[in-house]
Structure formats: structure tokens, C-alpha cells
Structure 1
């Protein structure tokens, strides 16, 4: 099969443009941003040496407190695909199913799924030069392949909007179609079940779970939100369905995903609770539905989320204790509530 990636040509063509980051996105020319990124790159260089020593050339990653601590401090980009694949179980799945991905590409395409995917091709990261028709290589073909293969693999899901951004991010990190496919399978099938089904029940449940957590942990905001029906769908549905893509800065999103693949879906709640907790006074002052929605847009911008090191430290401190057992219980309550009201 044709290889849609050429790391050497990609890096050399992008490095000549100072406003383009290593992932192909335009970078701010703001001085403070450049200074912050310079400091962050120095931090990543130190982490890279520690990761190389930890891994010692192996593809396996143990799940223990040391690795967990390493993941929370950030996975350097050269190790990210490996860590995501190993931590999520995607590497094992790919190893147990040799040739499966390519067999899906050879299958007869479902015309409805294909039409839906093609409609979103040019809407996927228009500000990223790797997804532009003029780019060489252009990732649109690889993106189409991953989404089409997943549509064949999981017919209950097929394709829905939001999946294109998830697959696009995976391709930017892995530079590999098959790995991106298996990571999507881990995300959509195991980590975030029922998020992308036609009913999106998993997404609806988790929005309600967040509402319950806010009432418990940030009661002042909970009181404001309780005044409006289905408010959580309005303010956080894009946060969860896009896994914070195009909501938070790319480096922050990738750090979130490091933990998402390693620790599971509770990370999404930690991020949301941290944003809400840090800005609770601002949100609590909102008058009416429109101001509330606007406040939730504003809290995802600025230095608080751009300093990904500081932000990632806060998501494990500000919300306090948050066990998977608590989330599981709340999911059961919210799922029953939604089923009763349907």
C-alpha cells in the first residue's frame, strides 16, 4: 500500500517557516508565547532523556507509579506514539490482527459513510498545512483511509462528526495510518464507549456526570447552572466530543491525551473541573444563558491553558480526589435518569 508519510521531507519543508510548529499548525508570533515555548522545549529535552533511559529501546510499557508520574509530566513527541499504543492496548490489538487494517481498506465502501467522511475532509484542520491539498505529503488521503476503515470495522458507529479531528490528531502524532486506526479503536471502543454512536448516549451521560461533579466540587457554579435545563450539552459537548481539540492549545491537548490513553476517561472530567474551578468566580457572575455560554468559551483561552506544565499539574490538584469508582456510580445514575426521561 502507498505510504502517505515521508518524515524527512515533511520536517524539512515545515522547518523553513518560523510560524509553523512541528505539527503543521500556525504558531503565534507573540513574544511571551515564543519565550514560553522556548522554556517548554528545554523542559521536553530533559524529559526526553529520562524517557529514553526508562524505555531502553523496548516497545513495552509497564503500568506502575513511576511510568504514571512520567506520563503526567509529558511524553516527548518522539516517544508519544509508542506510549499511546502500549498504554491503550492498541499495540496488542494490532499485533493480534496482522493485515486486518489493510483488509478493511479493500472492502466495498458503504456509500453513506463515504459521503459523510468526504464532506468533512476539507473541514479538518484548515489551519494546518499538512491537511492542505497543496501540501506534500497531504494527510487528507490518510485521514480518509483511517475513517473509512473504522467505519467498516465498527458498523454501529460508522462515522459521525468529531471523529475526523480525533483521527487527524492521531495521524499528526503517529505518522502511521494503521497505528492511528488502532488508537481510534482503543479510544472509541474502550476508553470512550458510546460517545460516537448515533444516540451519543455515552457523551450525554458524561455531560450529566460533569454536572453532578460540579455540584459536588464547585457548588457556586452548580447553582448557576441548575437554573437552566440541558445547560451542560450547550457548554461542554464540544469539549468532550472533540477531546479538547480546537478548544485548548495543541501542546496542552497532547499532554491531556498522554494521560487519557494511560489513565482513561476520568482525565476529561479532571480537565473540565479544573477549568471551571479556576474560573468559578467569573462563571458565577454570568447573567442568563447567553453569558454563561460565552463565559465557558472564554475560560478555555489565555495563559492559564497555554502553560501546559502548570495546567497539567493543576488538573491533578484542583478537583481533589476523583476515582473511577465515583465516575462509574455517577454514570449509572445519570444513564438511568436519561433512560427514564426518554
Structure 2
């Protein structure tokens, strides 16, 4: 059977619009309700993207395209735009047969091992460094980054960062799957695709933006945790917060409420975190 009943006895599909099984997703009904209201936004964005891509203008990274990507790339244009934004299309054209030749050639195990020694090394140093960096951003978000919304005044001190550490939770326990899987199988499919739209344009600091917002928008619930077990369980639940199911508001808040994430400053902090992790 391809359909199951909602709480109001209406039927919904066992798979989402992208073909992924969601029969066990307890938030599927809420996501369906959101998607029903989101369709008009998708239609409006599709119209604007169609106008952009049919205008004959050369597609290049600029402020207008960044704004368009932050508001979401229509699914019918994602393949083309992801290839273009990531630089993969340029490399494919310059070396049209390279990918096939590499697939068919004998693999150099030393190269494979070198690639794996970063995120997927036994010590997962790169992932742990990103987790430490997330903690540093939350600890100093008001002093390092420009705040554009008065709603962020509640985040002007180190209260949440210090409380998480006081109950014994280290940042290496926060968001491992977020960084390793780029939020795939963590957030709803539509939200993941919206994150990736920005990731291909702006790089991996988008993952830090989303991670920071997921933690900060759940501050009240996290502050209510009194021990290690409660805090770990609550951090695992932040991705299920109804605020996280609305991809349009989530991505809007990532950029409007968190202000600027200067690339130079972020990279400096990342290198400092990598050094600390390497010394452990």
C-alpha cells in the first residue's frame, strides 16, 4: 500500500516528493501541511529563476545570484546550477573524459587513504574541529558577528555556551552527523536541499550558520536541562523543533538573524580549533 492515514484520517503518500520513504517519519504530516503553503513560494521562485535563466545573461556569482540561491533554487534547475556553482561544470568541460577514465582506472590506495584521512579518519579531527568551531561561534556570537535583529539580544552573553559545558557536554558530542552528512537524513529533504543550494554558492560556513541557529533557537529548552543526559537528549531533539521544519523561515533566519560570518575570521577560528584538536 502506497498511502497511510494522517491523524485526521486523510491519506498521505509513504514517499516524499523526491521518492524517499517516510513511512516512519513522525513529522511527515506537519511537513505536508507546510509544503501545502510552501507551493506558492516555490511557484514564485520558479518564475523568477526562469526569467533569470532565459534572459541570456551570463550566469556568474554575484549578489543577485547569492540572493536567489538563499531563497532556493527550483528543483528543475538544481542539477544545472549545482554543477555551475560548484565549479564542476567548468572542470567537466575542460576535461570531458577524465571522470570516466578515473572510474575505469585502477585505484591508487594511497590517494584513497589521503582523502579519507580528513573527515573520515579514525579520530575524525576535521569533524571535531567543526564542532569546536560551532561552540566558539555560539560563545562569542555577539562580539564577533554583526547582530541585525533585536531578537538576538538574549544571545549577547556566554550563558548558553557555558551552561552546555557546565552539565558536562563537550562540543564533540554536538552535531557529528550534521557535519559529516551535510544534514542529509537529519532535516527534512526540502530543508536539506535549501541548505545545499547555499552550500554550493557560499561554501561550508553555511553548515555553521544552520548549526548555530538550530542551537540558539532552542536556547530556552537547552537552558532547562540540568544534567548530561537531559542535555544530550535535548540537543538531539533540536532538529525536530517545528521551527526546523519550515525550511523557508529557517534559511531566512540563518542569514537575517545571525548577521555576517566573515570568511577570514571563520577560517582563522577553524585553524585554531584544528590545532587544539590535534593536540588532544
Q: Report the TM-score when normalising by structure 1.
A: 0.67
1:270 paired residue among 189, 197, 209: 209
Distance in structure 1 (CA, Å) of the matches to 2:196 and 2:28 = 26
| Map of 1:90 onto structure 2 | 88
Q: Do the aligned residues in 1 keep the contact of 2:167 with 2:226 (CA within 8 Å)?
A: no
| Map of 1:330 onto structure 2 | 269
Q: Are residue 65 (structure 1) and residue 101 (structure 2) matched?
A: no
Q: Are residue 23 (structure 1) and residue 18 (structure 2) matched?
A: yes
Deviations 1:259-281 (Å, cap 9, x if unpaired)? 01100111111101111111111
Deviations 1:275-295 (Å, cap 9, x if unpaired)? 111111111111221111111
1:300 match: secondary structure: helix
Where do 5+ consecutive residues of structure 2 fail to align?
A: 1-11, 142-154
| Map of 1:157 onto structure 2 | 115
Q: Shift in Å at residue 247 of structure 1?
A: 1.3
| Map of 1:102 onto structure 2 | 100
Distance in structure 1 (CA, Å) of the matches to 2:85 and 2:56 = 13
Pairs aligned (count): 251
| Map of 1:205 onto structure 2 | 129
Q: Are residue 255 (structure 1) and residue 194 (structure 2) matched?
A: yes
Q: Do the aligned residues in 2 keep the contact of 1:275 with 1:299 (CA within 8 Å)?
A: yes
Distance in structure 2 (CA, Å) of the matches to 1:88 and 1:221 = 35
| Map of 2:151 onto structure 1 | none
Deviations 1:195-221 (Å, cap 9, x if unpaired)? 345553322211111111111134221
Q: Shift in Å at residue 32 of structure 1?
A: 4.6
Q: Shift in Å at residue 237 of structure 1?
A: 1.1
Deviations 1:9-30 (Å, cap 9, x if unpaired)? xxxxxxxx93322311135696
Distance in structure 1 (CA, Å) of the matches to 2:169 and 2:96 = 44
Question: Matches of residues 64-213 of structure 1 in structure 2 within 5 Å?
Answer: 64-108=62-106, 154-158=112-116, 194-197=118-121, 199-213=123-137
| Map of 2:229 onto structure 1 | 290
Q: Do the aligned residues in 1 keep the contact of 2:70 with 2:251 (CA within 8 Å)?
A: yes
| Map of 1:226 onto structure 2 | 165
Q: Do the aligned residues in 2 keep the contact of 1:220 with 1:280 (CA within 8 Å)?
A: no
2:184 paired residue among 245, 251, 254: 245
Q: Shift in Å at residue 326 of structure 1?
A: 1.7
Distance in structure 2 (CA, Å) of the matches to 1:229 and 1:295 = 14
Deviations 1:282-334 (Å, cap 9, x if unpaired)? 11111221111111111101321111111111111232332112211111221
Q: Aligned Cα RMSD in Å?
A: 2.6
Q: Are residue 281 (structure 1) and residue 239 (structure 2) matched?
A: no
Deviations 1:160-210 (Å, cap 9, x if unpaired)? 9xxxxxxxxxxxxxxxxxxxxxxxxxxxxxxxxx33455533222111111
Q: Report the TM-score when normalising by structure 2.
A: 0.80
Q: Shift in Å at residue 245 of structure 1?
A: 1.2
